[in-house]
Structure 1
Amino acid sequence: MRAVSTTETAPDRYAWAVQAGGLRVRAGRHLAVDGLDLTLDTGVHGLLGPNGAGKTTLMRALATVVKPAGGTLAMLGTDVGGRGGDLRALRRSLGYLPQHFGFYPRFTVREFIEYMAWLKEMPTSLIPGAVQRAVERVGLTDRADSKMKTLSGGMVRRAGIAQAIVNDPRVLLLDEPTVGLDPEQRMDFRDLLRGIGVDSCVVVSTHLVEDVAAACTDVVLVDQGRLVWQGTPVQLAERGADGHAGDSASERGYSAILRAHRGSA
């Protein structure tokens, strides 16, 4: 069993769960995030933007997969870009579902999630119960002992969500989590997000504006690696008009904000 340090049990002393200032992050040689300023706290934050806007690169930086090339980034009070931060301790408090994730196909769903819990250094005695709760929350109870290679694409995605939430993360990062989910599963997923967002900071990167409008407390719109707009789903819908592209008020608001931003750039 892993000993719990005094640092982990000490009261939180950070102002924001996520705080970025002038953040710059490279994707290969390309500067995908360029001077982004962003603060996020408890709640469900929908990250929107066109292809190539820098969403996935930003998520990778928040997950501590890639280091910033410039600016500042703090997660739960830990400096991610500097040398002084304890990234190992921070990662125990993160949950991350990449857009594309790997797994051992011969693992069962339960074994896969148990393995990910072990990688997150969860206490051994807590893992079985945590895995069972995660499986139940994503609706895979009846497939918990099925091998990953036998699952449909949507089921694999739900297993990915389960591994991301198994440690009850204080910051949950989900990159395109609803890919492959049917409409009923997407509605269940929205309920799950709303529940997690009561006590945690959840960041969901997606192209589906309607998912953001239905599940998120906050909308973050990025383009060309910079913050374009931040507000509530209601405020997003109010920005749209009949002349803008989109099938819903939220989609029209999204189009209107992007068009105004590009017109002023």
Structure 2
Amino acid sequence: MTRTVDAAEVATTTYAWQVAADGLCVRAGRRMAVQGLDLRLGVGVHGLLGPNGAGKTTLIRALATVVSPAAGELRLLGRSAAGPGGLREVRRALGYLPQHLGYYPRFTVREFVEYMAWLKEMPRREIPGAVQHAIDRVGLTDRADARLKTLSGGMLRRTGIAQAIVNSPELLLLDEPTVGLDPEQRVAFRELLRDLGADACVLVSTHLVEDVVAACGAVVLIHDGRLAWQGTPQELTAEGGAGDAGDSPAERGYTALLRRHRGEVKR
């Protein structure tokens, strides 16, 4: 039987950037955690770095439409995030893993990912196959029917990644996705990131600079809610010197850039 194709399915992408922020300000409680941020993100994997309290989680929550901007302009997938008008369409095309994932302990992995697919308003006929594909991609095939309360912390994190990618999002936001993953799982996750970034905009917030260098094509460094630096992993590594703190060239580059942004003088 021939299916009628919706116009949205064949419409040409009309936006240059998946994320476009101008003078973005976002509150976290009473504090302005993101202050006047200008940012452009396109297809590829972007690592989001910054010290504790820099505003990384608040920025990701704003991009995930969990919180609304206090000021400035934010466009996601070509639509304004300022009001409710286009948010439903944006959320259908989003994938989001929060820092602290809420879940129902008695759900199985499959049930939880299916539930999240339903919340994202995926077509019912596509959900079973998409759920299995997402579970397979995070290496939980043999635990698909295990209850969440029986899983280790690393397995729960991989379940969170599965629900974030089940709808093949155009914009994927991951807040500390490698917490609880062992070294082998982190290597597999890096490979998955590179695959996802081939045709989607992926933003990964992490404190692990080496993961960013290994898996990301671009780096965003923020400090005190402001953009401190943006470039490639290679450029990040080149910023460091022998006198900078860190156990690797990438970590030394990171600390050098933070020091420079703060106006500190290297001793």
- Specify the alignment match of 1:61 in structure 2: 62
Alignment map for 1:62-141 (pairs within 5 Å): 62-82=63-83, 85-141=85-141
Q: Any gaps of 5 or more consecutive residues in structure 1? A: none
SS at match of 1:46: strand
Cα separation, 2, equivalents of 1:61 and 1:185: 28
Alignment map for 1:95-244 (pairs within 5 Å): 95-244=95-244
* Structure 1 residue 82, shift from structure 2 partner: 3.8
SS at match of 2:263: helix
Cα separation, 2, equivalents of 1:182 and 1:235: 28
Amino acid at match of 1:38: L
- Specify the alignment match of 1:247 in structure 2: 247
Q: Deviations over 1:39-85 (max 9, x none)?
A: 000000000000000000000000000000000000000000145x4
Cα separation, 2, equivalents of 1:40 and 1:90: 16
Amino acid at match of 2:74: L
* Structure 1 residue 145, shift from structure 2 partner: 0.3
SS at match of 1:65: coil
- Specify the alignment match of 1:43 in structure 2: 44
Amino acid at match of 1:97: L
Give the TM-score taking structure 2 as reference length: 0.96
- Specify the alignment match of 1:11 in structure 2: 12
Cα separation, 2, equivalents of 1:5 and 1:36: 36
* Structure 1 residue 6, shift from structure 2 partner: 2.2
Amino acid at match of 1:44: V
Q: Deviations over 1:78-135 (max 9, x none)?
A: 000145x410011010000000011110000000000000000000000000000000
SS at match of 2:126: helix
Cα separation, 2, equivalents of 1:205 and 1:256: 19
- Specify the alignment match of 2:35 in structure 1: 34
* Structure 1 residue 15, shift from structure 2 partner: 1.2
Q: 1:229 to 1:123 in 2, by over 3 A?
A: same
Cα separation, 1, equivalents of 2:119 and 2:5: 16
* Structure 1 residue 10, shift from structure 2 partner: 1.1
> Does residue 22 of structure 1 match 2:34?
no
Cα separation, 2, equivalents of 1:234 and 1:33: 26
- Specify the alignment match of 2:263 in structure 1: 263
RMSD: 1.3
Aligned-residue sequence identity (percent) comes to: 70
Amino acid at match of 1:109: V
Cα separation, 1, equivalents of 2:157 and 2:40: 28
SS at match of 2:39: strand
The runs of at least 4 consecutive aligned structure 1 residues that moved more than 3 Å come to none
Q: Any gaps of 5 or more consecutive residues in structure 2? A: none
